[in-house]
Amino acid sequence: MRLVSSRTRKQRIAIGAVAVLGLGGLSVIQALPASAAAGCSVTYSVTGSWNNGFQGNIVIRNVGDAWSSWNLTFSFANGQTVQQGWGGRFSQSGTQVTVANESWNGSVPNGGSVNPGFIGSHSGTNTNPTSFAVNGVACTGAPVTSNPTTGGPTGNPTTRPPTTPPTTPPTSNPTTGPPGQRVDNPYAGGRGYVNPEWKAKAEGVSGGSRVSSNPTAVWIDRIAAIEGTDGSSSNGPMGVEDHLLEAIRQGASYIQFVIYNLPGRDCAALASNGELGPTEIDRYKTEYIDPIAAYQNDSRFRSLRIINIIEIDSLPNLITNVSGRATETAMCNTMKANGNYVNGVGYALAKLGAIPNTYQYIDAAHHGWIGWDDNFGPTAELLATAARAQGSNIANVTGFITNTANYSALQEPYITVTEQNRQSKWIDWNRYNDELSFAQAFRTRLVQAGFPSNIGMLIDTSRNGWGGSARPTGPVTTGTLDEQINGSRIDRRIHKGNWCNQSGAGLGERPRANPATGIDAYVWVKPPGESDGSSTEIPNNEGKGFDRMCDPTYGGNARNGNNATGALSGAPISGAWFSAQFSQLMQNAYPAL
């Protein structure tokens, strides 16, 4: 998380020694038992590049008999060289690259995968290699039954790999540490899990396949979703275990879950009210968090980085929507008084944080919610209190997420937050006018509140693109202050307090790691196309209320300055698929699709 530079600092190793291995050509062939069915598939991708450098990611999947050790070989076509690697011991001789397992990831069952990565350099062309072999067997994606022809009667190869060890043994890189040891940024250097249930919905809409392979989060929005629900609006039959198994099958390096079922959930709005009443903290612990933790702690899933986004729309409400504010609600007062938001978050952090390969990011609202001085510091302090509740401690926290399921622009390229501009109706004295600057500043404030200095932020960019024909292309510099600000802003909402199915919104930045200083990743946590709430009352048995902030004819309340809602009409209940919205999001994507 963190500062991008720290990742680079950690990525020092190791392959200088390689040339001394003297691996002449393709000599690394390992003995296979007679009639073994060996098989592999390899996905090679370049996940970033700059000048003459690039970062490569390799997912090696075992589709045959289990490996107790593995040795990958491939060749570069354009003279590329590996500078440093992790998740495997890299060596290179001429164009030939060999990656041997580390002591901790040699054993790979059928269906399992490993995921080494590296930093490389090139001098112009950088073609991806396409043919790979593991333990001397070409990776075709299917098992190959073989009596190795190069071997003698016992299957031993006639040409043996050299046994001379490198003079400086390569060391592993902590960017992808061994199971049980957390990495700095779980998003870096790997591929995210694609939820097949969301993918299918996205591909059901014309043009959806342009984005359907992006990772989105899996929302565990009720107890039944742990085992999978068929027929509920937002979930399908896949439960937590199914998603984890599928993530292994995909060769994903990380998977994202949203932990979202607090007692008295969503106390300032009605559309996402949940199944647990305000006092049902014991059910939250034993029927919800404990079973999720049991699945996540299963040793079958130890190679995955399991990311938990903790309780959207909870703690910040206890600062802004309580007694003493015009925006108070009775339920937020109740949840502040009974302590069940703080205790629920503390319990989730303690329980899930005890699992060695999990990463916890707590919800931290967005700039148009806590960017004002009255809210900023007190929210950071409350988050620190919750992180220490119920036996938890701040070390259970990997970072924080802003803008979840919201629409705040990542950056406002044509507006500077000056004392004068803060007086506009749109900015309304807020210190911030976009998510990136807010997330970076709030990270600093959280460190002051006691969180480790290497926490990282996530920003949900699923629906904050604001492209399309209404997007301004430069600042407006004439007219009143409000005319200038309104003409210059890319966020086209009527008011920053509007949060439901916003008309005119577009998909934002695609998910990616380390996009800016202090930011672990841009993520798509709200699966685009899933509704925020119904635009008219729709009876349901999921606890979802009808919030008039989703009704395009409503004139608003204190929390959106009594403005029109800007919501799309025809929306189903929250979490249910809303094709028309998904089409609009694709149409207004920025960057454009």
Position of minimal CB gap to ligand BGC: 575
CB 579 within 8 A of CB 588: no
Applying CB under 6 A, the span of 49-57, 97-105, 419-427, 527-535 interacting with ligand BGC comes to 527-535
574 near ligand BGC, rule: CB under 6 A: yes
Residues whose CB is less than 8 angstroms from the CB of residue 402 and which lie 6 or more positions away in sequence, other chains included: 364, 365, 366, 367, 408, 435, 438, 439, 442, 457, 458, 459, 460
88 binding ligand BGC? (CB under 6 A): no
Residues 6 or more apart whose CB falls under 8 angstroms from that of 5 comprise: none
Residue (340 or 406) nearer to ligand BGC, CB: 406
User: Binder to ligand BGC among 259, 464, 575, 577 (CB under 6 A)?
Assistant: 575
- Residues in 209-228 that interact with ligand BGC by CB under 6 A: 219, 221
Phi, then psi, of 449 in degrees rounded to 5: -80, 0
**The one segment of 53-61, 197-205, 445-453, 526-534 that binds ligand BGC by CB under 6 A:** 526-534
The binding track of 265-304 with respect to ligand BGC, each residue x by CB under 6 A or -, is: -------x--------------------------------
**Residues 526 and 464: beta-carbon distance below 8 Å:** no
Nearer to ligand BGC, 412 or 460 (CB): 460
By CB under 6 A, tell whether 234 contacts ligand BGC.
Answer: yes
530-549 footprint of ligand BGC as x/- string (CB under 6 A): x-x-----------------
Cβ burial, residue 71 (10 Å; 0-12/13-18/19+): buried
* Cα–Cα dist 200/191, whole Å: 19
- With binding defined as CB under 6 A, does residue 514 bind ligand BGC? no
435 binds ligand BGC (CB under 6 A): no
Whether the Cβ atoms of residue 44 and residue 128 lie closer than 8 Å to each other:
yes
CA distance 504 to 570: 15
Residues near ligand BGC (CB under 6 A), total: 10
Active-site residue, from 221, 266, 363, 547 = 266
Q: Which is nearer to ligand BGC, 219 or 257 (CB)?
A: 219
Compute the distance between CA of residue 223 and CA of residue 111 in angstroms, rounded to an integer: 29
Q: Which is nearer to ligand BGC, 198 or 400 (CB)?
A: 198
Does residue 208 touch ligand BGC according to CB under 6 A? no
Report the residue number, 269 or 513, with the smaller CB distance to ligand BGC: 269
Q: What is the spatial distance between Cα 569 and Cα 580, in angstroms, rounded to a whole number?
A: 10
Strand partners for 110: none
Q: Is residue 527 at the binding interface for ligand BGC, with CB under 6 A as the rule?
A: yes
Q: Quick check: 402 and 460 in contact, CB under 8 A?
A: yes
Q: Is 491 a catalytic residue?
A: no
Which tokens hold the place of 388? 């220490």
Q: Whole-angstrom Cα distance, residue 320 to residue 254?
A: 33
Nearest distance in Å: CB 329, ligand BGC: 17
- For ligand BGC, the closer of residues 112 and 575 by Cβ is 575
Catalytic residues, by residue number, are: 266
Residues that bind ligand BGC (CB under 6 A): 219, 221, 234, 272, 526-527, 530, 532, 574-575
